[in-house]
Structure 1
């Protein structure tokens, strides 16, 4: 019998500690990437290790897209639900500009997309906090240099997130959807902790302040930004899946497979 992806156990939970507010109770389902920004369709899911493994592992059938049952109904509906339009609007605008760019009618490799930086960032961070293993819901949340400021930022209790974290984004041209919690990436003397959410057409990366590693085409997101700027040059597309990219020289990477997820469309 073929081994089944460990993503299966992430659907088998009803109560736990919310990964945003930390309250114990019934957990609700959150689409990550948010359903407002993608076309919901049946997907297959594995962890990142399983996806790239040579071992034959049966994926999970995600009939309604990529879903995580890790946050409470209040955080899901009243916080993330109220912010989802702040993701939807710039993504729709970007897709419209992307169609024009691909038609050959644009003479610049930069696409500018207007957005509300603070609200967009809260929404993206909130959904990424939800994109974790149910193991995170089985015990009370503890103080964390990486996660505590992010949770408080989403809850409206920390407006100084720029003092602790940096955020990066870039054009993501792939159908493969990736989420990952707290991967460690070592590159030329720099040790970077990061988490990410990638879905067409955007890759989003969170690092600790001034300790980040990111691909050359990435743009740093600031809280006072009025626009997103996407570098469309294909020269660095091979690094679009960062941090899950080929390693060179002294580069190293460490992550917990159960806290990653790869979703990809079924082949019809």
Structure 2
């Protein structure tokens, strides 16, 4: 019976309670299912959710079928439908669509792709959409209690909820081109370094086609610079400001970056805060 209960809890981990504390605004009330990433990013097919790392006899994993895309019941209706769905998500999904169309045109014309391509976007809305859905991911245990503060998540919530705020100085959002359909969300993970005198990189990882994001909190030192990543920031205080987003199409990074660390590094994460999702057809092919 104990094993059955444990497996049942694992199976329901992505679904969340009907009532709890919203993972974004922390209001207590009814919770809704948030697609992570949003539907407009291609997250619409039945999906299989599992742990990021392979199972083993010592730590077996149970896959979860999520109908209609990967989603988590962790945010309230206002944050889901109004804040993200209406205010922020269109800025993200428009860029995703533009990149998909760009590759389609390039494929049809057999053009040689440049190393870097620029795409028009709204940085403030784009970034808030990414961070809002990241807050919702793997947050089932966070919505049942509101008795502890996490500086990184608290800073992200304030930024997402207040359109006049600038990105906190302690937060750096790195991004790269990610041409893979495997969707990954890893919260509160740490990259450490052998012989690094305690140097580490702490934050969240969020990956879905065509972007990988690494949200780093209050990094001491410059270990992250070795990866040569571009960073996002809100270049204007105006929520609807526009800019051009450079996307480096080459060289490609490993699909397992950064959770597969460099030879001198290590990666630490918590099981229930690390998940991956694949469309059901792809996961079983």
Same fold (TM over 0.5): yes
Q: What do the CA deviations read for 1:103-132 (whole angstroms, capped 9, x no partner)?
A: 541352112111010111111110100002
State yes or no: 1:245 paired with 2:251. Answer: no
Q: CA deviation at 1:39?
A: 4.7
Q: What do the CA deviations read for 1:46-94 (whole angstroms, capped 9, x no partner)?
A: 1223xx2234644111121101111111111120112110111111111
Length-normalised TM-score, structure 2: 0.83
Q: Which of 54, 57, 63 is equivalent to 2:56?
A: 54
Contact 1:170–1:219 under 8 Å retained in 2: yes
The aligned counterpart of 1:204 is 213
Structure 2 Cα separation of the partners of residues 72 and 57 of structure 1? 29
Contact 2:191–2:261 under 8 Å retained in 1: no
SS at match of 2:253: helix
Contact 1:97–1:111 under 8 Å retained in 2: no
The aligned counterpart of 1:127 is 133
State yes or no: 1:98 paired with 2:115. Answer: no
Q: CA deviation at 1:100?
A: 3.8
Q: What do the CA deviations read for 1:165-192 (whole angstroms, capped 9, x no partner)?
A: 1111111111211011111111363311
Q: CA, structure 1 residues 158+141, in 2 after alignment: closer, same or farther (shift >3 Å)? A: farther
Task: Give unpaired runs (5+ residues) of structure 1.
Answer: none
The aligned counterpart of 1:20 is 24
Length-normalised TM-score, structure 1: 0.88
Contact 1:170–1:217 under 8 Å retained in 2: no
Q: CA, structure 1 residues 100+202, in 2 after alignment: closer, same or farther (shift >3 Å)? A: same
SS at match of 1:237: coil
1:1-268 residue pairs with structure 2 within 5 A?
6-49=10-53, 52-55=54-57, 57-82=61-86, 83-102=88-107, 104-140=110-146, 142-156=148-162, 159-187=165-193, 189=196, 190-211=199-220, 213=224, 216=227, 218-224=229-235, 226-234=243-251, 236-238=252-254, 240-249=255-264, 251-266=265-280, 267=284
Contact 1:183–1:253 under 8 Å retained in 2: yes
Q: What do the CA deviations read for 1:192-218 (whole angstroms, capped 9, x no partner)?
A: 111121111111221124557377353
Structure 2 Cα separation of the partners of residues 23 and 232 of structure 1? 40
Question: RMSD in angstroms over aligned alpha carbons?
Answer: 2.5
Q: What do the CA deviations read for 1:10-33 (whole angstroms, capped 9, x no partner)?
A: 325111111111111111100001
